[in-house]
Chains A and B, each alone.
Chain A
């Protein structure tokens, strides 16, 4: 039996919690700090499975997982699919057709256990959760949330920092349209981080004061002493109208270069949920440089999604082990 251990190596007592309380994972707000830690700890155990010669455990054997990706996605869908297969779930992928409510009823008639949903509109997962008996995992809904991304980000931070509590996490980019941002604010706050937002005034989060974050358009102030610099994709496809005059000016003002990064803390890590726009949010030498943990994020995504799937729908923890 593998030990559920914290990054410091101390062996933890068995977690008091072994399951998530809520039926679905629609929002990072569904999770308490205790549950987040449970997911991160479980992901560590799951990560080990990916290193085996036979990367498969029977935790979700006999469970039907439907990947309902109604908005194009390669990274997240692939990550979920690998996670599901490593847990021995029966998986199928569906894309589009009738109205969402009818699709939900059609699916419901086939009694799946889990729906993993990506949708272009905010709240679509809530609509499905209302209609279906299956558990629903939000794999990104419109501009609302992407909770598993925030979980894998926290997992990645935890691997590099002794504790998330008290860290200065600076998030830079298109704040207005980012679902990754909304999940990350909730999750990082639950874990005690100090969240700073930075971007052009046209892409600020409305009502940011009520989110309990520091919001600024001054990149140097946002970066000063930051422990984590998280970049958000400038999502041209979501832009209605013009939010900034040119990519050139955006990069001048907000692009993360090696020089600019020196203002951050000495051990600052640089994160990006991908896909990156090199030369827009981030200079290539930073993306590929020593501070970057961007590829770790991708690798961690599978473990986090295994943990979430398992904690929502899997069989008991002992049975995870071969």
Chain B
């Protein structure tokens, strides 16, 4: 257990908000960060010297998950999803509204908030539906959703296809300082597609979805955000044309932000067979798209890494490829994948990783955290960047086992996750982590 008050003595502490990257102490008192600096006086607090390889970061926030509750508890519950989140190094998640019923009124939002509090693990920020039933026809009571705890609105899974509806949503949310998160995909261009359009789709005989299906709607949304003034956030961006549109919007100071998932910056459609754990929407794209995502992560035009954690029951995935649902889990693999594929391969450094996983998600969703500034809640993700991780779906805390990364050996691990100064997850397989407390 970590005492409170305490002074964490870290060989490396990273917080881009304060411009910190180095050996620093962090004083925790009353569940909040009391001070950061070199050689802080103990003043009666217990010192906790972290192992040399550990890195203290602001708690990571996954701004795009599906917790499936209410209505699809066989896939995931708020409790199992929250457990998966902290085991993956996330102190907070924002959950999409495509539950049953859809989170399109305050009653559902309140239920999610209540269950998340009962689970007592990761913070759970509900995302409300932008339109009633996510049907794309009538705005939800967004003010009431906001009051109940929603941090954004989205019809995720269903693009807001009607341009006027999207315009109205962007205009309306501007009153509440929250973004519209859009799953950009032109439904007519998607058709019955299940994988990226190209050679692999053609050789497997699977219907394709071109990258342009996404890019045309991103271009539209950037224009609509300019017109309406509301902030638009592009969910799970996958196509290089979309990134082009986002960059162009940012150059014109339009309120557009975007996220990318680990599977889209690691895998391509070349990996496709008929394994439905490689079926997700948007689909794995071409090598050029993946390279573009890496460029965007490195140059700052991509704001966040989000998992689009989409658990499904094994029986639902054990179908013909066309019939299986879209989606893969991501909470328990994202951080080791990002360490291995981005940091260790020199695409980005740890400060940039913290921006992508903590600072920017907090900024986009206007939620607490994302920094280690004094006064912030003591939400920390402690990394062991050189410790090995072997992905084992069978040991996931999530109910979902649907990952394309099962069996992968990665360099980089989450050592522990702290919320309000309390260790809610300690990784038993990382040497030295035990000093942070017994595993939850």
Verify if A322 is at the interface (C-beta below 8 Å from B): no
Q: How far is the CA of A126 from the CA of B273 in the complex (A)?
A: 10
Of listed B202, B206, B318, residue having the most chain A CB within 10 A: B202
Q: Which chain A positions have C-beta within 8 A of B273? A: 123, 126
Q: Which chain B positions have C-beta within 8 A of A208? A: 202
Whether A206 touches B321, Cβ cut-off 8 Å, given contacts A123-B274, A126-B274, A211-B202, is no
Verify if A12 is at the interface (C-beta below 8 Å from B): no
Pairwise interchain contact B320-A119, C-beta atoms closer than 8 A: yes
Q: How far is the CA of A210 from the CA of B270 in the complex (A)?
A: 12
Pairwise interchain contact A100-B320, C-beta atoms closer than 8 A: yes
Pairwise interchain contact B208-A121, C-beta atoms closer than 8 A: no
Q: Size of chain B's interface in residues, with CB distance under 8 A?
A: 23
Pairwise interchain contact A240-B192, C-beta atoms closer than 8 A: yes
Q: Which chain A positions have C-beta within 8 A of B320? A: 100, 119, 121-124, 127
Pairwise interchain contact B191-A145, C-beta atoms closer than 8 A: no
A69 to chain B, nearest CB (A): 15
Give the nearest-CB partner of A142 in chain B.
B205
Pairwise interchain contact B203-A182, C-beta atoms closer than 8 A: yes
Pairwise interchain contact A207-B198, C-beta atoms closer than 8 A: yes
Digitize B172-204: 1 where CB-to-A-CB distance is under 8 Å, 0 elsewhere.
000000000000000000011000011111111
Q: Which chain B positions have C-beta within 8 A of A240? A: 191-192
Verify if B250 is at the interface (C-beta below 8 Å from A): no
Q: How far is the CA of A205 from the CA of B206 in the complex (A)?
A: 12
Pairwise interchain contact B274-A205, C-beta atoms closer than 8 A: no
A105 to chain B, nearest CB (A): 10
Q: Which chain B positions have C-beta within 8 A of A124? A: 320
Verify if B38 is at the interface (C-beta below 8 Å from A): no
Pairwise interchain contact B203-A211, C-beta atoms closer than 8 A: yes
Digitize B292-321: 1 where CB-to-A-CB distance is under 8 Å, 0 elsewhere.
000000000000000000000001001111
Verify if B171 is at the interface (C-beta below 8 Å from A): no
Whether A121 touches B202, Cβ cut-off 8 Å, given contacts A126-B274, A206-B208, is no
Whether A206 touches B197, Cβ cut-off 8 Å, given contacts A144-B204, A240-B192, is yes
Pairwise interchain contact B191-A121, C-beta atoms closer than 8 A: no
Pairwise interchain contact B199-A211, C-beta atoms closer than 8 A: yes
Verify if A143 is at the interface (C-beta below 8 Å from B): yes
Q: Which chain B positions have C-beta within 8 A of A101? A: 315, 318-319
Digitize A193-228: 1 where CB-to-B-CB distance is under 8 Å, 0 elsewhere.
000000000000111101100000000000000000
B37 to chain A, nearest CB (A): 57
Q: Which chain A positions have C-beta within 8 A of B319? A: 99-101, 127
Verify if A24 is at the interface (C-beta below 8 Å from B): no
Pairwise interchain contact A122-B321, C-beta atoms closer than 8 A: yes
Verify if A233 is at the interface (C-beta below 8 Å from B): no
Verify if A241 is at the interface (C-beta below 8 Å from B): yes
Q: How far is the CA of A211 from the CA of B274 in the complex (A)?
A: 19
Verify if A179 is at the interface (C-beta below 8 Å from B): yes
Digitize A90-134: 1 where CB-to-B-CB distance is under 8 Å, 0 elsewhere.
000000000111000000000000000001011110110000000
Verify if A141 is at the interface (C-beta below 8 Å from B): yes
Pairwise interchain contact B191-A206, C-beta atoms closer than 8 A: no
Pairwise interchain contact B199-A121, C-beta atoms closer than 8 A: no
Whether A122 touches B202, Cβ cut-off 8 Å, given contacts A100-B319, A100-B320, A127-B320, is no
Q: Which chain A positions have C-beta within 8 A of B207? A: 143
Digitize B196-223: 1 where CB-to-A-CB distance is under 8 Å, 0 elsewhere.
0111111111111000000000000000
Verify if B110 is at the interface (C-beta below 8 Å from A): no
Q: How far is the CA of A122 from the CA of B204 in the complex (A)?
A: 7
Q: How far is the CA of A104 from the CA of B319 in the complex (A)?
A: 11
Pairwise interchain contact A182-B198, C-beta atoms closer than 8 A: no
B383 to chain A, nearest CB (A): 37
Q: How far is the CA of A142 from the CA of B205 in the complex (A)?
A: 7
Verify if B323 is at the interface (C-beta below 8 Å from A): yes
Verify if B322 is at the interface (C-beta below 8 Å from A): yes
B411 to chain A, nearest CB (A): 31
Q: How far is the CA of A109 from the CA of B62 in the complex (A)?
A: 45
Q: How far is the CA of A205 from the CA of B203 in the complex (A)?
A: 9
A115-165 CB contacts (< 8 Å) to partner B: 119, 121-124, 126-127, 141-145
Give the nearest-CB partner of B206 in chain A.
A122
Pairwise interchain contact B205-A145, C-beta atoms closer than 8 A: yes
Which residue of A100, A119, A207 contacts B202 across the interface (Cβ within 8 Å)?
Answer: A207
Whether A141 touches B205, Cβ cut-off 8 Å, given contacts A99-B319, A101-B319, A121-B323, is yes
15 contacts between A and B (CB under 8 A): A99-B318, A100-B319, A101-B315, A121-B321, A122-B206, A122-B322, A123-B205, A123-B273, A123-B320, A124-B320, A144-B206, A176-B202, A182-B203, A207-B201, A208-B202
The 5 closest A-B pairs by CB, nearest first: A207-B199, A144-B205, A123-B274, A143-B205, A122-B205
Given contact pairs A100-B319, A123-B205, enumerate 11 new A-B contacts (beta carbons under 8 Å): A99-B318, A121-B320, A122-B205, A122-B206, A122-B321, A122-B322, A123-B206, A124-B320, A207-B199, A207-B203, A211-B202
Give the B-binding residues of A (Cβ under 8 A). 99-101, 119, 121-124, 126-127, 141-145, 176, 179, 182, 205-208, 210-211, 240-241
